[in-house]
Amino acid sequence: MTEAASASVLRFSAIQQSFASPTGDAPNVVISDVGFEVKRGKFVSVIGPSGCGKSTLIQMAAGLLKPSVGMVFHHDREVTSVNRTIGFVPQQAQLLPWKTMIENIEFPLLLRGMALSERRAKAMEAIKRVDLAGFESHYPYQLSGGMQKRASIARMLVYKPDTILMDEPFGALDAQTRMVMQHDLQTMLATEGASVLFVTHDITEAVLLSDSVVVLSRRPARVIAEIPIDLPRPRDMFEPYGTPGFAEAYDRVWSVFRSELNIRRAA
Amino acid sequence: MSDQMTLTSLRSPSPKQICAPVCRAFLLAAPGVTLLCFWQFASGRLIRETYVSKPTEIAWRLIDLFYTGEIWPSLRVTGEELVLSYVIGVLLGLLLGYALGRSPRAASIFEPYVMAFYGIPKIALAPLFVIWFGIGIWSKVMLAGTMVFFLVFYNVFAGVRSVDRDVVNLALVLGANERQLGRQIYLPAAAPFLLLGMRMAIPYTVIGVIVGEFTSSTAGLGLFINYASSTYDPAGVFAGIFILLAFVMGMNALANRLERKLLKWQPTSQRIASEPN
């Protein structure tokens, strides 16, 4: 591996996060000690039991939340304010309802002051990449959940960020649509070369998409394992167990993850 | 693509749908026509005509008022008052509602005051408005404008405050600055609320202006109605009221068109005040 390829794009350094308790007692510690990094061009998933602060890490990387203790570095610069150089795909598609699909996708370019003709052309390009051509002038309410999700991914691709944050992007989709989206995401990223931080609670999804899976403990969260996934690409999202080595990789993640769920059940 | 969907909004009209507007117009007119017929019948038979006049009498009076031109000066004055109070009330309500909506700190200080002023029965202030702003159009413009202002202000304020923090955060990450947040997120999100406030304000403009004219004035439809009622001329009263009715309906139609144009991004079932036509 060359020097450039192993460079850290996104790094969480000794993160702690606590939120004021609503009852006024001692603050709620959500994250007790999390540190890991996303290397250039790598796809890293973070999984953990619900409520363990996975989405909080995304918020920190986006510069929307300052960690109570510790630092987040993006390209070796500490993230101290809203991070406008990353791509962000939220849990819900969050298209602006008053904009048509193409207007939503060109929105980041509009914010950057790009001329209409230029941003239309770039938006069309992104629309073709997510396979939504023909629906440009539909309003979000006229699109299915899967199509809204595609549009939200196109809105992120349109300004070609080199780092992408995805916060359980496929959680709300039905099982079939989700598999198609996972497949398409893999295809898109293969040509994009972007680094991805992907939050999910779905082990299959994490193993299939990732180069490495970070497993968080239950709250207060700490990193309990970082498991490299060395399966060959492209991987088959529709028949995961057909991919050689998938079952072993899944078991490695599950054996760590299961311990967290057991503790929780006993408590 | 696996995720296809049906678009009900893009269906071509079936024969049943083409007939529908005619049926609907008929159904819409039926209660009104029934009421007018009953009125015509009852007047002079069940109720004395000097109390309620009758539709044909009112129609003749209206024709006469417009034919002789007697009504035009009153219409012009009242029209001016209505338009001025509405425009000023909407603009100020929008401006202040947006400003307070965007600034939680200012809102926490000023909101109780605005709420207190909102609670004052404006009509009780009508005599004072005449003292403050004179007997001309401005006392009416201020009275009706105040009513319009509060309705628009509260709706816009609520609309701006209803904007989801997550949407704002997303816009920030996508690159929005403060000015762009306002233009691209807060204003469009508040638009349905603004339109609701504008629609609610239409009858209040009329009430404000007419009460103002009743209180004290030298010209206007309110004065005309007041004069007719104090001279036992029910046909005159109802003629004036029908003119006001026509104005309110015309404004409502305008509001519908504006709504269809500005809110075409909303599914019709979600519109706060959707109209069937």
For tokens 């005599």, the residue is B127
Q: What is the mean pLDDT of residues A209-226?
A: 91
Number of other residues whose CB lies within 10 A of the CB of residue A49: 18
Q: Is the Cα dihedral A97, A102, A108, A113 positive or negative?
A: negative
Beta carbons of B184 and A131 less than 8 Å apart: no
Confidence of residue B6 (pLDDT cuts 50, 70, 90): very low
Structure letter (DSSP) for residue B47: B
Q: What average pLDDT does this structure show over B51-72?
A: 91
pLDDT at residue A263 greater than cutoff 70? no
Quick: pLDDT tens for B192-205.
999 999 999 999 99
pLDDT (tens digit per residue) in A15-37: 999 888 878 778 888 898 899 99
Query: What's the distance, CA B247 to chain centroid?
Result: 10
Which residue in the set A107, A140, A142 is minimally distant from B174, CB to CB? A107
Cβ contact (<8 Å) for A88 and B174?
yes
Residues A98, A103, A105, A108: what is their CA dihedral angle, to the nearest 10 degrees? Answer: -90
Burial class (CB in 10 A: 0-12, 13-18, 19+), A208: buried
pLDDT for B271: 62
CA separation for the pair A15, A223 (Å, rounded) = 11
State the pLDDT at residue B274.
42
Interface test with B, best of A79, A85, A111 (most B CBs within 10 A): A111
Contact A90 B176 (CB under 8 A): no
Q: Who contacts B151 (Cβ-Cβ below 8 Å, separation ≥6)? A: B89, B93, B197, B200, B201, B204
Q: Is B188 in contact with A98 (Cβ distance < 8 A)?
A: yes
Taking an 8 Å cut-off on Cβ atoms, the answer to whether A111 and B184 are in contact is yes
- If you average pLDDT over residues B165-187, what whole number do you get? 93
* Chain B neighbors of A62, CB-CB under 8 A: 169, 173
pLDDT surpasses 90 at A197: yes
What does the CA dihedral A22, A27, A30, A31 come to, rounded to 10 degrees? Answer: 160
- Residue B211 burial (CB count, 10 A): 18
Strands A69-74 and A77-78, sheet pairing:
antiparallel
Asked if the model's pLDDT at residue A181 lies above 90, the reply is no
> Which residue type occupies A79?
V
Q: Chain A residue closest to B268 (CA)?
A: A141
Q: pLDDT digits over A114-150, tens only?
A: 999 999 999 999 998 888 899 999 999 999 988 999 9
pLDDT at B17: 64
pLDDT at position B104 is 87
- φ and ψ at A19, to 5 degrees? -115, 145
Q: Does B267 touch chain A (CB under 8 A)?
A: yes
Q: In terms of DSSP H, where are the helices of chain B? A: 15-42, 49-52, 55-68, 72-102, 104-119, 126-133, 137-161, 165-173, 178-181, 187-215, 221-230, 234-262
Cβ separation of B1 and A131 shorter than 8 Å? yes
Cα–Cα dist A190/A194, whole Å: 9
Cβ-contact B93, B148 below 8 angstroms: yes
pLDDT at A119: 94
Q: What is the ipTM of this complex?
A: 0.87
What percent of chain A is predicted at pLDDT more than 70?
A: 96
Domain boundaries, chain A: 8-86+162-266, 93-160
B145-158 pLDDT, tens per residue?
A: 999 999 999 999 99
Locate the chain B residue with the closest alpha carbon to A160. Answer: B174
Q: Write the DSSP assignment of B143-206 as a string of letters.
A: HHHHHHHHHHHHHHHHHHHTS-HHHHHHHHHTT--HHHHIIIIIHHHHHHHHHHHHHHHHHHHH
Residue type at position B177: N
Task: Please tell me the predicted confidence (pLDDT) of residue B197.
Answer: 94
CATH topology of domain A8-86+162-266: Rossmann fold (3.40.50)
> Which of A97, A111, A145 shows the shortest C-beta gap to B265?
A97
In this structure, what are the phi and psi dihedrals at residue B60, rounded to the nearest 5 degrees?
-60, -40
Percent of chain A at pLDDT > 90 equals: 54
- Closest chain A residue to the Cα of B183, Cα to Cα: A111
Q: Which of A242, A243, A212, A215 is nearest to A230 (CA)?
A: A212
Q: Rounded to whole angstroms, how far apart are CA atoms B182 and B193?
A: 15
pLDDT for B84 beyond 60: yes
Q: Could you tell me how many residues make up chain B?
A: 277
The pLDDT value recorded for residue A219 is 83
Give the pLDDT score at B11. Answer: 53
Residues in B 225-244 with any Cβ partner in A closer than 8 A = none
Q: Name the residue with higher pLDDT: A53 or B16.
A: A53
User: Which residue in the block uniquely carries the two structure tokens 């060109």?
Assistant: A106
Mean predicted lDDT score pLDDT of chain B: 88
Choose among A143, A67, A78, A65: nearest CA to A104. Answer: A143
Task: Count each helix (H run) and each strand (E run) in chain A, helices first.
Answer: 8, 10
Side-chain half-sphere of B207: how many Cα atoms within 13 Å?
12
CATH number of B60-266: 1.10.3720.10
Do the Cβ atoms of A147 and B7 come within 8 Å? no
pLDDT-wise least confident of A144-153, A223-232, B14-23, B184-193:
B14-23
Q: Residue A180: is its pLDDT beyond 60?
A: yes
User: In B, which residues are within 8 Å of A84 by CB distance?
Assistant: 172-175
Tell whether the model's pLDDT for residue B9 goes beyond 70.
no
Mark which residues 145-204 of B lie under 8 Å from A by CB.
Answer: 166-167, 169-177, 180, 184-185, 188-189, 191
**Model confidence at A163: pLDDT above 80:** yes
Q: Using 50, 70 and 90 to split pLDDT, how confident is the model at B247?
A: very high
Given this model, what pLDDT does residue A46 score?
95
- Residue B47: pLDDT band with limits 50, 70, 90: confident
pLDDT at A56: 92
B9 or A12, which is more confident: A12
**In the block, residue with structure tokens 């790598």:** A42
B265 touches chain A (CB under 8 A): yes
Q: Which residues of B touch A98 (CB under 8 A)?
A: 188-189, 191, 265
Indicate left, alpha or beta for B240 from its phi (over 0: left) and psi (-120 to 50: alpha). Answer: alpha
**Dihedral through CA A143, CA A149, CA A155, CA A157, nearest 10?**
-140
> How close, in Å, is residue B7 to chain A by CA atoms?
7
CA-based nearest distance B190→chain A, Å:
11
Of all residues in chain B, the one with the smallest CA distance to A140 is B265
